[in-house]
Structure 1
Amino acid sequence: MEEKVYQTYVQVLKEELVPAMGCTEPIALAYCASKCRDVLEDEVISVEIKVSGNIVKNVKSVIVPNTAGLKGIEASVAAGIVAGKTNQILEVIANVNDEQKQQMREFLQKIPMKVIPIESECALDIAIHLYGKNHQAIVRIAGYHTNIVYMQRDDEVLYQSGVVASSDSSLTDRSLLNVKDIYEFANVVKIEDVKDVLQRQIDYNLAIAKEGLENNWGANIGSVILKTYGDDIKFKAKAYAAAGSDARMSGCEMPVIINSGSGNQGMTASLPVIVYAQEEQATQEQLYRALVVSNLCTIHQKTGIGRLSAYCGAVSAGIGAGCGIAYLKGGDYETICHTLVNGLAIVSGIVCDGAKPSCAGKIAASVDAGILGYYMYKNGYEFKGGDGIVSKGVESTIRNIGRLSREGMKETDKEIIKIMCD
């Protein structure tokens, strides 16, 4: 394939498949707060936090790891100020001791903190203003979880991005992504170019899935699936993906490898493929190539949707996993196309109402749709262009999903946030 496309795909995987500990929206808040504390260089006496509605939605109900069970925007910011190590980025609060956990609670009790919801062109928008005894500082993140676009100390602007942060503008161009090239790339990629990032995904995400199955986390969707339906591979694939979310949404302090800014998406895109590979005794190379398909198909769908929206990201990842499984089982380009379209036709109505334990149930449903989409095509059945939001051609259907999310679900997103805040 073209060298430009090849190198772009390698870079996209390296940019997207990165480690994070905890739900990425609370961690983005902690990262922003930690950076702002570094800029301030003073004792914090009050805090002002401006956040877009999707940040409110995705932080409200999830436990922040390494805080002894704290939830919410204020807790996330307090964790970053008290214990954040800014250079660890999305693992900013990965190393916290018991004394710091107590200091977080004291900070929340003593320091005035004001949260201000804002209207923003960015679904992901965070601005933290710290007031110290002698100085003040502002840091803003927008567009994606680590994208610092503005820093100020007192009256001096230290940094300001010249680009409106309504998209992942500083990342590698995603417009080159398409299913045909993804399939070709998976066939020809040199394993040494992707091995490290994919092996880390296997190790991290499999570890937290096992934790979710073996212990009491969240609503225990993963273990309920296995207890209820047995360990048939189709159920086991759903259970492992759900179990990772069970643990992560309820404060498990193990890191995961994310996809498109989300740990749930990272686990959903990878764990079903890993489980299938183990069951069918696939080679490590076969697993790597299947993970290339699942991850890039997920990223391709999410590019048109955006990082945060009213459209559940688990759907994109579950369908991506279905594509990876199809590839692992010998499926060709046509098989992957039909798997993707069939799966999207089934579950594209699932809404995102924030990060919380029920994400695990949505993950299970999405993985099920991805697997069903594959077996439909294997048995000679498919959803065709003109069936609802399905258009002729896989790329047309993917574009429809992006349009549905960006345009059609704007008001849905606002209403979800209103309901959650009420």
Structure 2
Amino acid sequence: MNVASDTVAKVLQILHEEIVPAQGCTEPITIALVAAKVREVLGILPEQVSIFVSGNIIKNVKSVVVPGSGGMVGIEASAAMGIVAGDCSKDLMVISGITEQDMAGVRECLERTSFKVIHEKTPIKLYIRIEAVAGDQSAEVEARYLHTNLTRVVKNGQVLLNRGFSPETFHTTEEDRSILSVRLIYDLARTIDLDLIRPLFRQVIDLNSTIAEEGLQNTYGVNIGASILKNIEQGIYGDDVRNRCASFAAAGSDARMSGCPLPVMTTSGSGNQGMTASLPVIKFARLKGHSEDELIRALFLSHLCTVHIKTQVGRLSAYCGAMCAAAGVSGALSFLMGADDDTTAHAIVNTLGNVSGIICDGAKPSCAMKIATGIYAAFDSATLASYHRDLHGGEGIVGHDVEATIRNIGVLASTGMEQTDEVILKIMTSE
């Protein structure tokens, strides 16, 4: 299959939009980004701050440690860090330069400033609006649909910016994701000029491997990544590639969910998705002696399949996004095993038919456990596909082919799990 040059250009644009660096969990960091922009527009420290957020933002900020905060969690802490020390020009690296001196200012801001958090009843899953007042000065900044998509900026009642995506296209940015298919992604993974993607995926390898090693060497969260490794070393688990890959992937999430300040390369708005799509593939390629070229092609496939599936699911959902990435990993493992496009597609279907019931109940330390589960499923799915043992259309949510299955996952996540999302949030906020 020859891929037209304009299609390649669109796919490259998608890659560069969807795979970006971020420090910390992207939802609290987005609050910090909006807050930093509010402070920039206001020009002075605010006296009153009102933070309007969607339910999914509440869910994903409640329990995750903000990096550089000394253990702080929550919406108010994220906003205060953005206000005091944020640089909104850095996007999702907005608080990457924060110091202990800055944190003293953050703690003082939290004591002296009136913060109010309001649950905005909106169908938009990713919604943040921060209104700030200081004396007779006021500012308002809003973000919708995507983590860095600032849609409205107002100062003293004067609208400085007013834009946004329509509900029908909220899952896209600049390029239309409908051009993506597993067949296209597979063919490009085999044929694309590596010079076009090598710098991006070297950054993925570098940043995500670094935080995974940090998670293995130090204590973060539930430490599932290091625990798997310890069980291997003690002979409780077998010393095999599957366990090693699950350990490596989970360790990155262990560190990130518990406030490690090291940046990661995110995928489709999520560091956990970015680490899931990359770390097991990196570890597998290293253990099996694959070349850098082969690894980069497999990472290309894993990440783009994740984007393709996540486009149907939406940016935030009750459907665990790490399972989208796990499906991408199963495809990448098949690719590295030398499978053809049909077998690779079957590996993805096997994963989606297996772990699609895993819910997203917010960003927190247990995300690492879910990632490990997803990686184990990815290995099972890829090996079953290599034996031509596949889930078939009509069996549960599995469609007649991989694209139909991905569409079914989108319906399940967006329509079928709408009430699930509400129940999860009610449980979380009643604790």
Question: What TM-score does the superposition give when structure 1 sets the normalisation length?
Answer: 0.98
Alignment partners' CA distance in 1, 2:345 and 2:7: 20
Aligned to 1:18: 20
Aligned to 2:348: 340
**1:22-421 alignment to 2 at 5 Å?**
22-161=24-163, 163-164=165-166, 167-228=170-231, 229-421=237-429
Alignment partners' CA distance in 1, 2:386 and 2:197: 29
Name stretches of at least 5 consecutive residues in structure 2 with no aligned partner. 232-236
Q: Is the 8 A contact 2:319 2:360 kept in 1?
A: yes
SS of structure 1 residue aligned to 2:170: coil
Alignment partners' CA distance in 2, 1:117 and 1:235: 41
Alpha-carbon deviations, 1:360-409, whole Å to 9, x = none?
Answer: 01001111111110111122311111111001111000000000000000
- Point out 4+ residue stretches in structure 1 off by more than 4 angstroms: none
- CA shift, 1:134, in A, is 2.9
Alignment partners' CA distance in 2, 1:269 and 1:363: 10
SS of structure 2 residue aligned to 1:50: strand
- CA shift, 1:163, in A, is 3.7
Alignment partners' CA distance in 1, 2:129 and 2:247: 37
- CA shift, 1:82, in A, is 0.5
Q: Which amino acid aligns with 1:211?
A: E
Alpha-carbon deviations, 1:203-261, whole Å to 9, x = none?
Answer: 00000000000110100000111222243111111111100000000000000000000
Alignment partners' CA distance in 2, 1:185 and 1:4: 13
Alpha-carbon deviations, 1:31-87, whole Å to 9, x = none?
Answer: 000011111112311100000000000000000011111100000000000000111
Name stretches of at least 5 consecutive residues in structure 1 with no aligned partner. none
Alignment partners' CA distance in 1, 2:352 and 2:72: 36
- CA shift, 1:103, in A, is 1.1
Say how many residue pairs are matched.
Answer: 422
Gap change, CA 1:169 and 1:345, over 3 Å in 2: closer
Q: Is the 8 A contact 2:52 2:120 kept in 1?
A: yes
Alignment partners' CA distance in 2, 1:62 and 1:144: 19
Q: Which amino acid aligns with 1:175?
A: S
Aligned to 2:234: none
- Identity, in percent, stands at 46
Larger CA deviation: 408-417 vs 156-165: 156-165
Question: What TM-score does the superposition give when structure 2 sets the normalisation length?
Answer: 0.96
Gap change, CA 1:169 and 1:237, over 3 Å in 2: closer
Alignment partners' CA distance in 1, 2:245 and 2:330: 10
Q: Is the 8 A contact 2:96 2:261 kept in 1?
A: yes
Alignment partners' CA distance in 1, 2:36 and 2:392: 50
Q: Which amino acid aligns with 1:181?
A: L
Gap change, CA 1:169 and 1:160, over 3 Å in 2: farther
Alignment partners' CA distance in 1, 2:68 and 2:183: 42
SS of structure 2 residue aligned to 1:44: coil
